[in-house]
Amino acid sequence: MKIESNDKTHAIPGPAVVSLSRWLEQVGVTTCTAWRWRKRGWLKTVNIAGRQYLTQEAIDEFHRRTSTGEFSQVNKVPTPK
């Protein structure tokens, strides 16, 4: 999106913050999983007027960390007694 004023064109960047609920819908993750990720410090949110939001930097950092396998764990299958 661009705005023209006084013969100058200014580009407006994308949203600086995205609501956590909207991002969860886009990614396909439940609120419970997001709560766990926030509790572990994997996902950093910002509280604005009592609602949780994600900055683009936090989203980029989360995707970078997941792509490197930082959050991967070995699947532990319980053994029968």
pLDDT digits (tens, 9 = 90+) for 35-71: 999 999 999 999 999 999 999 999 999 999 988 888 8
Domain ranges of the chain: 11-67
9 pLDDT higher than 60: no
With 60 as the cut, is the pLDDT of residue 33 above it?
Answer: yes
* Residue of 20, 48, 22, 57 whose CA lies nearest to 35: 20
Q: What pLDDT, on a 0 to 100 scale, did the predictor assign at position 7?
A: 58
Strand 46-48 versus strand 17-19 pairing type: unpaired
Residue 51 to residue 49: CA distance in whole angstroms: 6
45 touches 52 (CB < 8 A): yes
pTM for this prediction: 0.66
